[in-house]
Amino acid sequence: MSTSARLAYFVRTAIGSMVRSPFVHVIAIAALGLSLVGFGMARIAADQLDALLASLGGEVEFTVYLATDAPNEQVDELEKALVNRTHGTIARISPATALGRLAAQLGEQGKSLTELGDNPLPWSLELQLPLGSREPTALKTLAEKTRALPFVTGVDYGEEALERLGVISRALRLAGLIVFALVFLTAVIVVSATLQLAIFARREEIEIQKLVGGTDRFVRMPFLIEGALQGVFSGAFALAAVYGLVRWLEKEGGDLVGFLMLDGRFVVAWGRLALEQLGLGVALGLTGSFIAVRRFLRV
C-alpha cells in the first residue's frame, strides 16, 4: 500500500469513527474549545495591557527637579548619563518657563501667578523616553539612582500608575500560564477519555489488525488523526468565540474593560492568535490521543 493510500485510509477511518459517535466527539471538542477560549482571552488581555503601557509611556515625562544650588557641571553630567542610559532626548527647563506653562494650563486663574514676587518653581530636566526605555521596573531603578544625587530634590514619572498597570500585566500573564496548564490537563483528560471509548468500541477490529500483521503505528494513526481533528475543530471554535467576545466587549463592555482599550478597540494580532489556537489545539489533541492509544493498544 502506497503512502498516499495509507494516509487516505487513516483519514477515512478517523472521520468515520467521528461520524459514528458524534456526541462524544462534540463534547470533547466543546470542552477543549472552552479551555482554549480562556487561554485566548488571557493572552489578549496581557497583550492589551502591554500595548496600553507602551502608549502611556509616550505621555509620561521623566522629570528631574534640581536644587537651587545645583552645580552646572554635575547637571551636565546627569543629562549625558540619562541620555546614554535611555537613548532619549532631554531638555533643561527654567523656572520662568515652568511658571509660564503652569499659568497657561490654569487659564484665567493662571493670571494670578504673574503677581508672585518670587518664582517658587525649580530648574528641572525633562526626559522624553523612547519606546524601549519605558519598562516600569527599569524606570523605577533609574528614578531611585537619580533621587540619590545630592543636587536632585525629586523625580516624577507617574510611578504609581505605571506600577499598578505593571502589576495587572504580570497578574494576567500568570493567569495565562495557569489557564494554559488547565488547558493542557483538560485536553489530555478529555481527548484520552474520548479515544478510550472509541478504542474500546473497536477493540476486536484492532485485535484482528494486529493478528494479521498490523503494526502498532498502523493501528495508532487513525486515533492520532482523530485527536488532531478534535484539536483543529476546537481551535477554530475557540477562535470564533474569542473574536465574538472581543467584538462584543468593544461595543458593550465599556464600563467593564474600557480602561484596557485604545481608541475604543482591542489591539489583537488575529493571525498570530489563530495560529496559536489551532496549533495548541492540535498539539493537545495529539498528546491526549497518544496517551490513550499507548494504554489500550497492548493487546
| pLDDT tens per residue across span 177-188 | 787 777 677 767
In tens, the pLDDT along 25-56 reads: 787 788 788 888 878 887 787 777 767 666 65
- In 3D, which of 245, 191, 262, 261 has the Cα closest to residue 40? 245
Higher pLDDT, 142 or 61: 142
Domain ranges of the chain: 3-55+163-296, 61-157
**Cα angle 25, 29, 32; round to 5:** 135
Q: Please state the φ and ψ torsions of residue 201, each to the nearest 5 degrees.
A: -65, -25
Alpha-carbon distance of 138 to 86, in angstroms, equals: 10
How confident is the model at residue 59, as a pLDDT? Answer: 56
pLDDT at 136 over 90: no
pLDDT at 212 over 80: no
How confident is the model at residue 299, as a pLDDT? Answer: 47
How many C-beta atoms lie closer than 10 Å to residue 102's C-beta?
12
Of 19-23, 97-101, 166-170, 218-222, least confident by mean pLDDT is: 166-170
Higher pLDDT, 210 or 19: 19
Alpha-carbon distance of 90 to 25, in angstroms, equals: 62
Percent of the chain residues past pLDDT 90, beyond the cut:
15
287 grid coordinates: 498528546
Q: Please state the φ and ψ torsions of residue 176, each to the nearest 5 degrees.
A: -65, -40
11 grid coordinates: 483519514
Higher pLDDT, 158 or 87: 87
Length of the chain: 299
How many C-beta atoms lie closer than 10 Å to residue 211's C-beta?
9
In tens, the pLDDT along 290-299 reads: 777 776 665 4
How confident is the model at residue 56, as a pLDDT? Answer: 57
Alpha-carbon distance of 42 to 198, in angstroms, equals: 33
**Cα angle 149, 155, 160; round to 5:** 135
Q: Which helix (H) or strand (E) holds 89?
A: strand 89-93
User: How sure is the predictor about 240, in pLDDT bands with cuts at 50, 70 and 90?
Assistant: very high
Domain topology for 61-157: Alpha-Beta Plaits (3.30.70)
Alpha-carbon distance of 193 to 227, in angstroms, equals: 11
Within a 13 Å sphere around the CA of 22, how many CA atoms are in the beta-carbon half? Answer: 1
Alpha-carbon distance of 286 to 283, in angstroms, equals: 5
How confident is the model at residue 263, as a pLDDT? Answer: 60
> Across residues 118-130, what is the average pLDDT?
84
